[in-house]
Amino acid sequence: MTTTSAPGHDRPDPSLDAIMSERRQLINLAYRLLGSLADAEDVVQETYARWYAMSRQQQEAIASPGAWLTKVAGRICLDLLGSARARRESYVGEWIPEPLPDRTEWIDGRGGGTTDPADPADRITLDESVTMAFLVVLESMTPAERVAFVLHEVFRYSFAEVAEIVGRTPAACRQLASSARRRIRASQALPAPAGLRAGLVRDFKQAWEAKDIDTLVGLLDPRAMMIADGGGLVSAVLRPIEGGEQIARYIIAIADMAPGLTILERTVNGQPGLVAQRDGVTVTVAAFDVPGDRITRIWAVRNPEKLWPWTGEPQAASDSGHDARHGEGETTIT
C-alpha cells in the first residue's frame, strides 16, 4: 500500500500504513461484538472517519494509534449493541447473526479448493469465537458483558484497557467477563471431532435430498431445535421448531415445495454447513451445532440482507440503516 496524504493535510502521512494495518483487527472485533459483517464495516468506517477528523497535531499526540482506534471502535459497538435491542423488538421473527462464508467445499472436516481473495471469510479469523453457536450465546448477554468478554477473552485486552472502553472500573469489567464466561460454559458442550461433524451434516444433506425422513430423524437429537431468520423479507417460520421429528418433517416439506433447490456443502462460520441455491442464487445458509453424535441446533438464515457475502450482491441496507460496502480499502476478518 502506498503512503498518501490524508484528506485535509498537505504532506504525506508516514503513519498511514500503520493506521490502515489495524483495519483487520477492528473488523474482527466489531463482527464478534455485533454479529453482522455489514455493521462491523460501518463501525470501522466511522472509526477511521473520526481519526481523520482530527488535526495532524492531535493524531501525533496519540501514543498508540492502534489502541485509540480499538477504543473508539469498541465504544461505537457498545452504543450499537444498546440500540440493537430496541431494533430487534420490531424485527420480524427470529434474529440470527450474519453467516460468514469461505466458499470452500469441505471434506472430512477440512477445507478444499481455492478461496476468493475478496471473500468476506478472508476478512475474519474463523475460529471458535465466530461459530454460530458462540455468537448466539453472545446475543444473550448484556452489551457491557459482551464487550468485556470479547475484548478480554478473545482479544486478550487487560481489564484496565477494557475499563476505558466500557466506562466501568477494571474490577467491574472482571465481573462482567466472569458472568459472560459462565453463560458460555452453561450453554455450550464440547464439539464433536471435525470429521464427525462434517459427516453428520453431509448425511443430513443426502437424507434431505432423498426425502428420507427416518434417516433425518436419526441424525437429529430428539430435543433438537431449528431456528429460521427471514427478517420478514422472505417466508420463514417465525418461531423455533422443536423436536427432531418435527424438524425432519419440516425439512421434507421444504423439499416438496421447492423441488429446484440445489444443496451445497459449505463452511459456515468455520464449521460444516449447508447452502441452498435456486437458479444459482443462494437463498438459505444453514449452520449446525453438533456437540456429540447428533445434530442439536440448526440456524437457517434466509434474510437476503444477511446473505450478501454469499451472493456477491450488496444488500440494500443493514438494519442500522447504513450501506456498509462503500468504505475505502478492503476489510478483513480473521
Read off the pTM.
0.82
Cell for 129?
Answer: 469465537
For the segment 60-112, what is each residue's pLDDT rounded down to a tens digit? 999 999 999 999 999 999 999 988 877 777 889 999 999 998 755 544 444 44
For the segment 13-55, what is each residue's pLDDT rounded down to a tens digit? 546 677 878 898 999 999 999 999 999 999 999 999 999 999 9
pLDDT at 125: 75
Burial class of residue 129, CB neighbours in 10 A (0-12, 13-18, 19+): buried
Cell for 330?
Answer: 478492503
Give percent of the chain above pLDDT 90.
65
Q: For the residues 127-136, what does the mean pLDDT come to?
A: 89
- The residue among 330, 283, 319 whose CA lies nearest residue 302 is 283
pLDDT at 316: 44
For the segment 203-239, what is each residue's pLDDT rounded down to a tens digit? 999 999 999 999 999 999 999 999 999 999 988 888 9
pLDDT at 103: 54
Sign of CA dihedral 157, 161, 163, 164: negative
Looking at residue 190, what DSSP letter applies? P
